[in-house]
Amino acid sequence: MGAYLIKRLLLFVPTLVIISWVAFGLSLLAPGDPVMGLCADQGILIEGEYQRCARQYGYDLPPFYFSLSPAAYPDTLHRIQPQYRRHMLRDLIAQTGNWPDISVYDQQLEDVLKTAMTMPDSLNRQQKIDVNQTLRDLRVAFKPGQVDYLLARLDSMALFSAYSAYLTGKTGELLRQWDRIKMQATPTLLIQPDWKWYGTANRYHRWMAGLVTGDFGTSFKDKRPVGSKLRPALFWTLCLNLSAFALALLLAIPIGVYSALRKGGRMDRFFTVTLFGLYSLPRFWVATILVVFFTSTTYGGWLDWFPSIGLGTVAADASGWERFWVRASHMLLPVLCQTYGLLAFFARQMRGAMLEVIRQDYIRTARAKGLKEEVVVWRHAFRNALFPIITVLSALFPASIAGSVVLEVIFAIPGMGMLTYDAIFAADWPVVFSVLILGALLTMLGIWVSDLLYGIADPRIRLGRGDRN
């Protein structure tokens, strides 16, 4: 048993690694420029600031240990900053495969941009703005028709504007280089697979190393470490789920046992139908109904039974009790919503497990030897019926954490779900993927604990050998 559990614990590692690939892969697909997200307010347009920020957060590194791409791409593309410039080059290469000429074009464009920035305003301000705008458009243009059009426009500006002294020659060079890119395209390089090795200096490695040491990265939204945001969120989510679990169990055990003992009776039928209805009742609907009708005076003051959403406010000098009371009164409705779904599920499981046990021979024996009914039910039957429930519990706990997302959003509880939801809308990917990894870890722990409890509860179970087939 012990060996099996340790083996399972070791199997966490490959599973977590694969999940980290999924999360990291998704973060690569996420739209938007992470460097802009991280340093948008620090004067990103100042010369060199973007590069500094990219270096600080590791965005000048290649994404992974290796890459597989067509041979047309250079192995240093990731070093080119900012992202839009890199993407333009990437898209140009994808169409022509002619990297040497494209890099020359890129350099020339950069030169012209620098010149255009330093042109004096005094000659013709409007024309200067036009030239700069065209150049900025060229910086992101990768569709041939668009580039042709912009270059022709720039060329005519160079000829006829007040700034022709600054631009002549340079725009001609750009045009010629652009023609060269198109003429000397090397499409064969685009269909040639090419592996590139980068070693451990890559973003994934950094990210993983951070995760292992408990550093989840930096939130795009407020530059705080993700870990410091996760901790209070985890607290509220655990509060919500643990109290709901405890409450659901307290109610489910008597209901389940009672219905099993009086199977087919009126109360059993009542509970079965009610619990089945509750089981099908969407939690977010019930929550919405409760919020709409019972937390405000919209439908008359007599319906305003509960405090409004959120966690409420407590004065800084409030006593511990007062603090607890305010929080608890605000948590009441969400806990209630979380409880009834769990209750419906647990009670059904409890009833089923109890029914299995109660028809066993040893129960008949216990009754036959004249034990009191309470002893038979609680000591002989209930204990054995509890085992399957334990495993269901620990496996369900992580799922319910993920499931409380919508409740937290409706009741404005600042837990993990709310954090994820906000992060998704703010495109705050470090938070989203940290939650994903943390959720996976919790789930695996839950399954592991359920295995452990199963083994403790039922010594007949020998996991690890012969559990297959």
Partner 1 sequence: MAKKEKKNGFWRARILTRFRGERPAVWSLRLLYVFLFIALFGDFLANEKPLFCKIDGKTYFPILYQYGVDLGLASWEPSLIRARWRDLEYESVVFAPIPYSATSLDTRNTHFAHPFRGQQVKSKRFWHWLGTDQLGRDVAAGLIAGTRIALLVGLGAMALASLIGLFLGTMAGYLGDRGLRTSWLRLVLNIAGFYFGLFYGFISRAYLIGAANLEGNGPAAVLTGLCWLFGMLLLANGIGYLLERGLRLRKPVRIPVDILVMRSIEIMESIPGLLLILALAALIRKPSVWYVMGIIGLVGWTSIAQFVRAEMLKVRRQTYIEAAQALGLRASRIMFRHALPNALSPVLILIAFGVARAILSEATLSFLGIGVGPEEVTWGKLLSEARSNFNAWWLAVFPGVAIFLMVLVFNLLGEGLSDALDPKGDEKGE
Rule CB under 8 A: which residues touch partner 1?
Answer: 11, 14-15, 18-19, 22-23, 26, 29-31, 68-70, 90-91, 94-95, 190-191, 193, 276-277, 279-282, 284-285, 288-289, 291-293, 296, 298-299, 398-399, 401-403, 405-406, 409-410, 420-421, 424-425, 432-433, 435-436, 439-440, 442-444, 447, 468-469
Rounded Cα–Cα distance for residues 102 and 112 (Å): 15
> 282 or 310: whose CB is closer to partner 1?
282
Q: Is the peptide bond before 100 cis (omega within 30 degrees of 0)?
A: no
**Cβ 347 to partner 1 shortest distance, Å:** 15
DSSP-derived secondary structure for 284-334? HHHHHHHHHHHSSSTT-GGG--S--SS-----TT--HHHHHHHHHHHHHHH
- Nearest residue (CB) to partner 1, 167 versus 260: 260
State in angstroms the smallest separation of the CB of 334 from partner 1: 15
Closest separation between CB of residue 301 and partner 1, Å? Answer: 14
- Residue number with CB closer to partner 1 (260 or 436): 436
Q: How far is the CB of 337 from partner 1 (least distance, A)?
A: 13
Minimum distance from residue 203 beta carbon to partner 1 (Å): 18
Residue type, 190: L
Nearer to partner 1, 190 or 353 (CB): 190
The nearer residue to partner 1, 114 or 262, going by C-beta atoms, is 262
Q: How far is the CB of 267 from partner 1 (least distance, A)?
A: 19
Shortest distance, CB of residue 3 to partner 1, whole angstroms? 18
Q: Which is nearer to partner 1, 14 or 459 (CB)?
A: 14
Q: What is the DSSP letter of 377?
A: I
54, 35 Cβ separation under 8 angstroms: yes
Could you give the C-alpha distances from 15 to 58, 216, 439, 444, 449, in angstroms and in order? Answer: 26, 19, 13, 9, 17
Q: Where are the alpha helices (DSSP H) in 98-190?
A: 99-118, 125-140, 144-160, 164-167, 170-183
Q: What span, in angstroms and rounded, lies between the C-alpha atoms of 79 and 447?
A: 43
Q: Looking at the DSSP assignment, which residues form a beta bridge with residue 69?
A: 194
Closest to partner 1 by CB, 87 or 136: 87
* Residue 240: other Cβ atoms inside 10 A: 26
